[in-house]
Amino acid sequence: MAFKNFSYILSMILFFVSLCVANGAPPETICNSLVNPTYCKTVIGNQNGNIYDYGRISIQKSLSQSRKFMNLLDSYLQGSSPLSQSMIHALEDCRFLASLSFEYLSNTYAITNTYSNVLPTSQAEDFETFLSAVLTNQQTCLDGLNTIASSEQRVKNDLSLSLSDEIKLHSVTLALFLKGWMPEKKIRTSWPQNAKHLNFKNGRLPFKMSNKARTIYDSARRHGRKLLQTDEDSVVVRDIVVVSQDGSGNFSTINEAIAAAPNNTVASDGYFLIFITKGVYQEYVSIDKKKKYLMMIGEGINQTVITGNHNVDDGFTTFNSATFAVVGQGFVAVNITFRNTAGPGKHQAVAMRSGADMSTFYSCSFEGYQDTLYTHSLRQFYRECDIYGTVDFIFGNAAVVLQNCNIYPRLPLNGQFNAITAQGRTDPNQNTGTSIQNATIKAADDLAPNVGTVQTYLGRPWKQYSRTVFMQSFMDSFINPSGWHIWDGEFALSTLYYAEYDNRGGGSSTANRVTWSGYHVINATDAANFTVSNFVSGDDWIPQTCVPYLTGLI
């Protein structure tokens, strides 16, 4: 009887709290449930209001602070005081990221300023993703500044102080957005079993083509390249260009082809397709936010190769060490190798960095050592890809699913251990994390003879709320029985979320795994949260690419 009375009282309390949230309440009622209630109260002040009022105040302040921070960065970049090349690189990263954040916040404010109710689910998930990325961008900026030598401490301190306040503000903004405009998420636990898987292998693709694209296609076919095939389930392409080093294509470099792509297209316009013939392309490629819905197709792994060797030891930030970087929404890559040849001795050296929302990679290879694949931010999907590396070689803070991929730990430097993942979630409200499903984890050829002397772990917590899930994957016996490794003492061990579900192979036993409170062996219901359908809303955007994918659990 007492238990029933307690349940009734609790339900009434929750009912009246919900009324206060909707109709008006003092800041304490809203803020006390957030990560930083004291800072939340300073953001929204002493006036009474409802969750939408408070949310708009916070978003507006985030937008204003973002503009001030960009102005501060410009004052240093354009000032007369000399700066080291390392500091210039870090400031340029910050300015680039700040401009993205300003756009995300502007778009969020424009919509929430007209809504006093929950948003449609798809739109709400977009803004949740953008606000999560704002936090990631600021943290990336701060991480870059923290690597700068103490000789420029004044600049570092000035910017770091501004960033610290900005990160707390953006955290409040994200939390208030979720409380006000985010509808209750419905997790799917069953999925259709008859999804079509189209054949992308050997450069073959199904397309609907414009007349101009058909002309390029016919020309390419005369050169013996089987680019496309007709199928009722088709990728819509607005234009096709060919990159070839022998001069037979439209362009001889990848960057020239990207420059020719139209700006700010939408999904319904179709893809601007860049077909890259076989060859080794020594180019640093950066696809900016205006170049949306680009599709790049090579002639196969180790046939079409994009390579570079930028690295931290030679003065680059981790962020700008990438051989290939993309932030243009809707990017698709197929049948390409992305490589960083700096080697293990140069430490952080990125082969691919993606901060492109709804980006898709199919049948690609990512080759490097430390920090190979930087899944930086927003929503991403990788299918049937090969990923090679040593230390933290799948890292970042995107919401990302890697499905049916081959993961190959390599031989690190003497005294190093391998960590496959280093996920960078910094806030419990971010919708980010790394989900690895139906992967095959085996030692690369150089590590295979040395698995007895080199320890390999599934991951370690780069940031406070690091979140990584391995499910339905094959783990060879060289994986350390404890599974996971610390970052620094007790850091993040209670706040991280690491989980395993239904894995197989000699390294998959959870009997001797770590005993951290943040580590879990989960069931199918929990694992469903990390599927393509639920974790990255992939059913809304992957089908238009015609890349095969499994929407749920196997």
Active site residues: 392
Q: Which amino acid is at 300?
A: G
- Distance CA(239)–CA(235), nearest Å, equals 12
Reading the block at residue 299, the tokens are 């002639």
Per residue, the 3-state secondary structure of 492-525, as one string, reads: CCCCCEEEEECCECCCCCCCCCCCCCCEEECCHH
Residues 394, 416 contacting (CB under 8 angstroms): no
Reading the block at residue 358, the tokens are 């709804």
Q: Which residue has the tokens 């139906």?
A: 438
- Distance CA(65)–CA(163), nearest Å, equals 10
- Distance CA(498)–CA(517), nearest Å, equals 10
The Cβ of residue 103 has, within 10 Å, a number of other Cβ atoms equal to 14
The Cβ of residue 305 has, within 10 Å, a number of other Cβ atoms equal to 20
Reading the block at residue 39, the tokens are 């800072």
Per residue, the 3-state secondary structure of 448-502, as one string, reads: HHHCCCCCEEEECCCCCCCEEEEECCEECCCECCCCECCCCCCCCCCCCEEEEEC
The Cβ of residue 235 has, within 10 Å, a number of other Cβ atoms equal to 22
CA distances to 259, 272, 283, 298, 445 from 262, in Å: 8, 8, 21, 21, 42
DSSP characters for 361-430? EES-EEE-STT-EEE-SSEEEEES-EEEESEEEEEES-EEEEES-EEEE----TT--EEEEEE---STT-
H/E run at residue 229: strand 228-229
Beta bridge partners of 339: 307, 367
